[in-house]
Amino acid sequence: MVRYAEPGTVEWVESGGGPLVAVPETVLPFWTGADGEETASDYDRACEVDGHVGLLPVGDATALVLGDEPASTAFLPDHGTFVRWCAGDSEDELLARVPAALHSAEWEPEVRWDVPGAVLLFDAAWPGADSPHTDHVRVVLEPGRYTVRAAQVRPGPETWLGLVQLRRLAHR
């Protein structure tokens, strides 16, 4: 985990150049990363996601792929949002602009994600079984169905960030 500010403030995950993936802990052993033996590994499938987010089946659950570019990414639980650092002079400046960015974002169409509980965010190239020993962030989510929406926002002249917001749907 990369830390740009005071320890414990925000934990950022970086990839080696490909997408990041949020895999439910219950199915981590089923994510093969780039080591898949089939014609298309899980990493290859993640790289084929077109756009800022996509869903891929893993075991009996679904992983959320954060596509587009390999930006440093953190999860801000107060906003239910993955923040992707595309450009900005400092972490403090970037994080200070998140509330305004969430308000002004032009969101892409939503996807629905069924989540069995906590997920690990890590480089899609790594096998899920190895992810706890790599650069990762554990995101605690209540089990249930979420809407996921994404946007690219430039809340300042030198600040550009990606947003992937999770919103839990109410039980019916």
Model confidence pLDDT, tens digit, residues 76-135: 999 999 999 888 888 888 888 899 999 999 999 999 999 999 999 999 999 888 877 788
pLDDT for the residue 5: 45
Q: Please check whether residue 157 lies inside any domain of the structure.
A: yes
Q: Please check whether residue 144 lies inside any domain of the structure.
A: yes
Q: Write out the two tokens for 134.
A: 């790599």
Q: Please check whether residue 6 lies inside any domain of the structure.
A: no
Domain that residue 138 falls in: 20-168
User: How confident is the model over 132-143, as a mean pLDDT?
Assistant: 88
- Average pLDDT of every residue of the chain: 87
Q: Residue 21 is inside which H or E element, if any?
A: strand 20-24
Q: Please check whether residue 152 lies inside any domain of the structure.
A: yes
Task: State how far the alpha carbon of 138 is from the alpha carbons of 13, 22, 92, 141, in Å.
Answer: 10, 9, 22, 10
Residues near 28 by beta carbon (within 8 Å), at least 6 away in sequence: 120, 128, 129, 131, 132
Q: Please check whether residue 14 lies inside any domain of the structure.
A: no
Q: Please check whether residue 13 lies inside any domain of the structure.
A: no
Task: Report whether pLDDT(22) > 90.
Answer: yes
Task: State how far the alpha carbon of 40 is from the alpha carbons of 69, 116, 120, 121, 165, in Å.
Answer: 20, 26, 22, 21, 29
Structural domains in the chain (count): 1
